[in-house]
Structure 1
Amino acid sequence: MSQTPDAPSRARLVAITLDEASITRGNANIEHEREVAIYDIIDANTFEVEGREGPFTLKLAVIEDRLHFIVDTEPVSGEHTLMLSLSPLKRVMKDYFIVCESYYKAIRTAPPSRIQAIDMGRRGLHDEGSRLLTERLKGKINVDYDTARRLFTLICALHWKG
């Protein structure tokens, strides 16, 4: 199905919600990070579920150390759940959190060259997490590079302790 240049893509997310039962609420900073991550994904994304036509809605849940992507189509036509083990992402996320903490401390007192070096490391870990997420979704959900980065940001925000 071809689209006109102004027609919205059907291979996209139009809404994201978090499962209240499995994802604990954090402090105001954590909630803000989650809201910004969701906004950024919805604002611009490519998200396509193999064998299904979108646009899509996504509900994220964390159950027994697995990330559940509960995908539905808009208008509603039946949920499809994809479960991913968080274990392969944990090392990258742990390193990412450590570097982020160093970055936030550095921006208060460190010289610009130090901040830039830490930020390069932070971006490298973010890229690694995004690539890993894309690989884990391959054959099930197709996302572009920017969407993978934004999803990794959201997953990190779900696990950030603040």
Structure 2
Amino acid sequence: MADGSSPPKSKLIDVELDETIGRATPDVEHERAVAIFDLIEDNSFQPAGLEPQLLKLKLSIADKRLVFDIRDEAGETLVLHILSLTPFRRVIKDYFLICDSYYEAIRSSTPTQIEAIDMGRRGIHNDGSQTLMERLAGKIEVDMDTARRLFTLICALHWRS
């Protein structure tokens, strides 16, 4: 653009989890709610071929795939994108393992050890976010911060008690 500003982008104003996601323990439900709040609070979410606008996202699971049902403000479906969760299995597993190590370290390790584990945790989270950006390429343009928030939500969908 001539004035140096970036072009307008769509923004998510609501994220809903379909009943196919399933309910979880109160702690996991809380983590999901926090992930959704963070995503809505700050995001850049531009589906290919759509004019910039305020959007709603309904997530569901179908045949072990994550369904992005992207809707307008009135709730009318604009586009569906379906992502296989297979490319995320390994990074989600690694992320959960290092999170377990991190929470254990908080109880018994030195600040230096905790910091090292946290750096690893952030690195794995970034890997998952980058994979998500790659899988969405050509379908939905997101910035790294939005990809991180979406990856957090995808992980929250997999959390066990």
TM-score scaled by length of structure 2: 0.92
Q: CA RMSD in A?
A: 1.7
Q: What corresponds to 1:60 in structure 2?
A: 59
Letter of the structure 2 residue corresponding to residue 119 of structure 1:
D
**What displacement does 1:64 show?**
1.3
Report the Cα distance in structure 2 between the residues aligned to 1:17 and 1:78, rounded to whole angstroms. 13
1:40-51 pair list within 5 angstroms: 40-51=38-49
TM-score scaled by length of structure 1: 0.91
Report the Cα distance in structure 1 between the residues aligned to 2:57 and 2:135, rounded to whole angstroms. 17
Identify if the C-alpha distance between structure 1 residues 145 and 96 changes in structure 2 by more than 3 Å, giving closer, same or farther: same
Report the Cα distance in structure 1 between the residues aligned to 2:32 and 2:15, rounded to whole angstroms. 11
Q: What corresponds to 2:126 in structure 1?
A: 127
Paired residue secondary structure (2:77) = coil
Letter of the structure 2 residue corresponding to residue 25 of structure 1:
R
Contact 2:69 2:77 in 1 (8 A): no
Greater displacement, 71-80 / 45-54: 71-80
Cα offsets for 1:74-117 (capped at 9, x unmatched): 23443421000000011000000000011111111111111111
**Unaligned regions of 5+ residues in structure 1, if any?**
none
Q: After TM superposition, which residue ranges in structure 1, 4 or more long, deviate above 6 angstroms?
A: none
**What displacement does 1:161 show?**
1.0
Q: What corresponds to 1:81 in structure 2?
A: 80
The number of equivalent residue pairs is: 156
Q: What corresponds to 1:102 in structure 2?
A: 101
